[in-house]
Chain A
Amino acid sequence: MARVVVDVMPKPEILDPQGQAVAGALPRLGFHGVRDVRQGKHFELDVDDSVDDDTLDKIAEGFLSNPVIEDFVVRRVDQ
């Protein structure tokens, strides 16, 4: 078994209204100095050793992210 993390983020040129809403709320809560917030998704997958990197890329690109609007990073992590 291996732990795989996939992080999916909106592409820089895509409007991120959720991140903007968080950024807009921070000063109201008394937290100053945060210039920008981008919000994405974090997936943790427990996969069999038989699952190779190619397959993980296909999962990330074809399903977990939408390449039109999102970038993704796949990494294996120590459990």
Chain B
Amino acid sequence: MRIGAVTFPGTLDDVDTVRAIERAGAEAVALWHGDADLRGVDAVVLPGGFSYGDYLRAGAIARFAPVMEPVIDAARKGMPVLGICNGFQILCEAGLLPGALVRNHKLRFVCRDQWLRVESTTTAWTTRYEPGAEILVPVKSGEGAYMADERELDTLEGEGRVVFRYVEDNPNGSRRDIAGVSDGSGRIVGLMPHPEHATDPLTGPTDDGLGIFLSAMDNVKQGAA
């Protein structure tokens, strides 16, 4: 079981992502923005940070990095892909996920532990959670407000593609308290909060984030079986 973690110039959370993958029991494969192939991984994570300094728009330049060509290709063929924070922004910019992430309301960068509700437990990254489970993971972003037009939001709700929702206190003005969404197949998921920072109670608020990585491993195993 090999799960890749991509490093772009300006990525910050690749090390914690690698650590989370290993803690879940998979082999972590470091992928570089200039890579032309995915080194045989079974799933791939785009970690958080500020790729290319967030120039132009967050994720707008990373979306055209060489490694994104095989990522987009593999995603379209059904490989589980997870975008966390800046990785979520990149997936939206790449058109793999609908909507966009914009500047937080009141322009506040928010860094705190955040309760989320797992709204969909059928995606490749969330099968380990009980429906409606509430998890506590860090959120740390300045451009985390999820935006899409009303019709798109209705479609996402109707198709059960709102995967995570902020509980109680929406940190950024995100439409309908959305913290994470999936594509139509449920194999591509993006979320603003950071499950990879919550995989070990020693260094994070909880280990609630571990289920994300374990779910993907289950999913890949089932696909192979």
10-57 of chain A: CB within 8 A of chain B: 10, 13-15, 17-18, 21
By a CB distance below 8 angstroms, the chain A residues around B56 are 63-64
Contact A66 B57, CB 8 Å, known A15-B147, A15-B173, A17-B173:
yes
Please state if B60 and A63 are interface contacts (CB–CB under 8 Å).
yes
Contact-size category for B? 20 to 34
By a CB distance below 8 angstroms, the chain B residues around A15 are 102, 105, 145, 147, 173
Query: Is B111 among interface residues, defined by CB-CB distance under 8 A?
Result: no
Query: Is A68 among interface residues, defined by CB-CB distance under 8 A?
Result: yes
Please state if A18 and B145 are interface contacts (CB–CB under 8 Å).
no
Give which listed residue, B104, B106, B147, B173, contacts A69 with CB less than 8 A.
B147
82-118 of chain B: CB within 8 A of chain A: 92-93, 98-100, 102-107
Which residues of A are at the interface with B, using a C-beta cutoff of 8 A? 10, 13-15, 17-18, 21, 63-64, 66, 68-69
Known: A21-B106, A66-B60, A68-B99. 8 other contacts (CB 8 A): A13-B149, A14-B147, A15-B102, A15-B145, A15-B173, A17-B103, A63-B60, A68-B147
